[in-house]
A = this chain, B = another copy of it.
């Protein structure tokens, strides 16, 4: 082969590729959870050595970010309604549903406000809706961040609750719960046993609606 392919310029042809590594990592994570994804295990999975991986990914955190990009690409992008409030609600709900399905999300979520190249449509949609509703750019970015905080918090806290339910690590929660006393926290005491059921509901959308109302309404009025 006289043609100058990537590797014929000299050196050894690669046996591993970043794509192969990411695919193997995804398989491990989906099959056995993020905690099983170690550099050693991944090397075994692709039939190589731990150190060979470092030629293709910066380090473990870099690998996680590649995994996040892959997941973000797969989140279906919804058709968005034209009404600003509805637009924000549909975009945010799609994003949170997509991210909540990625079980290891919490480990990586804690990373940024502009999450991933593949997810840029989301801040775009929210900022756009906010501007159309009458906010200026600064207010629109603020509205986006407020919604993102709510969304990220919902995902993180609910993921923790799910993990707790699965692990049977209910001890701490129950201890806190048992400390509720009618003298000091009468409202919580009155709610009592009903708390877990009330707190277990999925109210993401309703909360979001209230938030969007609060964020967009005052400006709409002042026009």
Q: How many copies make up the complex? A: 2
Interface size on A, residues (CB 8 A): 72
**Which residues of A79-136 have CB atoms within 8 Å of chain B's CB atoms?**
106, 109-117, 120-121, 123-124, 127-128, 131
**Which residues of A152-172 have CB atoms within 8 Å of chain B's CB atoms?**
152-154, 156-157, 159-161, 164, 169, 172
**Which residues of A43-94 have CB atoms within 8 Å of chain B's CB atoms?**
61, 65
**Nearest CB in chain B: distance from A215 CB, A:** 5
Given contacts A131-B187, A146-B211, A188-B127, contact A106 B114 (CB under 8 A): no
**Are B142 and A198 in touch, CB under 8 angstroms?**
yes
Q: Is A138 an interface residue (CB 8 A)?
A: yes
**Are A112 and B176 in touch, CB under 8 angstroms?**
yes
**Are B137 and A194 in touch, CB under 8 angstroms?**
yes
